[in-house]
Homo-oligomer: A and B are copies of this chain.
Amino acid sequence: MEDGDGSREGRIPLSRQRVLDHAVAVADAGGLASLTMRSLAKELGVRPMALYHYFANKDEILDGIVDQVFSEIELPSPGGDWREEITRRAASARSVLRRHSWAIALMESRSTPGPANLRQHEAVLATLRGAGLSLEMTGHAYALLDAFVYGFAIQEAALPFDTNTTPEVVAAIAARFSGGDYPYMQEYATERAMKPGYDFGDEFEFGLGVILDALERLAGPMRASLPRGAEA
């Protein structure tokens, strides 16, 4: 994974973007704990202090990679069918957060949204308002949709198994419930979760569908796209 010989010749020069790209790669590969100023510098073929020429401190880098992750999420386009657009954006957010699950932990602690985050907000608001939702209903819809998307990402990240967990590991987990202390968990595990074809990920489509159906019903008949507040 090292990409430098240490010599300055032929080195791609540092830049904010290059630092952030490598920071994301380091976190993807080894988790958030493995991302240190020193490990990041080594990955870039540079001394730790060089990073401080582009970022005031590590927190600024963390803010940067969170926004980098947001920038990977597809924006809904306010022109199209709102349900289709919102679904596409939600699915994209889910897959991005699955790729970079360390980002979820960071989202909780940083409260200054970056530009990609703001663009994301703007596009979702535009899509919902464009579909004719009232301001109040737009707020309801957005909070509910994003809570679901982020919460689902937490659940997926915390799952003790993913799609390619060995049967041995699954059996070990199941053994914890077989003492009789957790009859309902045991029922769910044996009668459903361990059945072939079961995939927790399918709950995403189900949940999102439930939410969108409800919003559609609550918002009344959707008007065709009539953008407001953007006519200036």
Q: Which of A139, A143, A203 has most B Cβ within 10 Å? A: A143
Q: Which of B101, B147, B188, B228 makes the CB contact (< 8 A) with A147?
A: B147
- Stretch of A18-26, A37-45, A46-54, A148-156 that contacts chain B: A148-156
Instruction: Say whether A222 faces chain B, with CB atoms less than 8 Å apart.
Output: no
* Contact yes or no, B230 A144, CB < 8 A: no
Contact with B along A176-210 (1 / 0, CB 8 A): 10001111111110011100000010010011001
- Which residues does chain B contribute within 8 Å of A148, judged by CB atoms? 144, 147-148, 151
* Contact yes or no, B152 A147, CB < 8 A: yes
Q: How far is the CA of A210 from the CA of B210 in the complex (A)?
A: 9
Oligomeric state, in number of copies?
2
Q: How far is the CA of A102 from the CA of B219 in the complex (A)?
A: 35
Q: How far is the CA of A138 from the CA of B203 in the complex (A)?
A: 11
A137 to chain B, nearest CB (A): 10
Q: Which of A110, A159, A229 has most B Cβ within 10 Å? A: A229
3 residue pairs, one from A and one from B, having the closest CB atoms: A151-B151, A147-B151, A105-B105
> Known contacts A107-B158, A126-B184, A183-B230; can you find 11 more A-B pairs with CB under 8 A?
A102-B109, A104-B154, A118-B182, A125-B187, A135-B188, A140-B206, A144-B203, A147-B147, A187-B229, A210-B218, A211-B214
- Which residues does chain B contribute within 8 Å of A228, judged by CB atoms? 187
A205 to chain B, nearest CB (A): 10
Give the residue name and chain of the B residue nearest to A231 (CB). Answer: B183
Instruction: Say whether A129 faces chain B, with CB atoms less than 8 Å apart.
Output: yes
A108 and B140 in contact (CB under 8 A), knowing A125-B188, A184-B122, A232-B180? no
